Structure 1
Amino acid sequence: EAKTSNRLLLVDFTGSDWCGWCIKLDKEVFSKPEFKDYASKNLVLMEVDFPRGKAQSAAMRQQNEQLAHQYQIQGFPTIVVLNGDGQAVGTLGYMPGGPSAFIAELEKLRKG
Structure 2
Amino acid sequence: MKLIFQTLLLFISLTLSAQNWELNLEQSKEIAQNESKHILLVFSGSDWCAPCIKLEKKIWNSQDFQDYAKDNLVLLRADFPRLKKNQPSKEQQKHNNRLAENYNPKGYFPFVVLMDAHGEVLNQLGYKNIDPKSYIKAINDY
TM score, norm. by length of structure 1: 0.91
Q: Which of 49, 69, 75 lines up with 2:101 in the alignment?
A: 69
> Higher relative CO (CA 8 A, sep ≥ 6), structure 1 or 2?
1
Q: Which amino acid in 1 is paired with 2:40?
A: L
Q: 1:3 and 2:36 equivalent?
A: no
Q: CA deviation at 1:108?
A: 2.5
1:104 and 2:137 aligned: yes
Root-mean-square deviation (CA, aligned residues, Å) is 1.1
Which has the higher Rg, Structure 1 or Structure 2?
A: 2
Partners of 2:137 and 2:91 lie apart in 1 by 35
Q: CA offsets, 1:16-41, max 9 Å, x none?
A: 11000000111110001110000000
Which residue among 65, 82, 88 is the counterpart of 2:115? Answer: 82
Q: Does 1:95 align with 2:125?
A: no
Q: How many equivalent residue pairs?
A: 109
The verdict on how the C-alpha distance between 1:37 and 1:26 changes in structure 2, with shifts beyond 3 A counting, is same
**Partners of 2:116 and 2:130 in 1: CA distance:** 24
Q: Deviations over 1:60-90 (max 9, x none)?
A: 1111111100112421000111012220101
**In structure 2, C-alpha distance between the alignment counterparts of 1:80 and 1:103, rounded to whole Å:** 13
- Equivalences for residues 6-21 of structure 1 within 5 A: 6-21=36-51
Give the counterpart letter for 1:106 in structure 2.
Answer: I
Identity score, percent: 36
Structure 2 gaps, min length 5:
1-30
What CA distance in whole angstroms lies between the structure 1 residues aligned with 2:132 and 2:77?
18
State the one-letter code of the partner of 2:80.
F
Asked if structure 1 preserves the Cα contact closer than 8 Å seen for 2:46 and 2:80, the reply is yes
Task: Tell me, yes or no, if structure 1 residue 26 matches structure 2 residue 59.
Answer: no
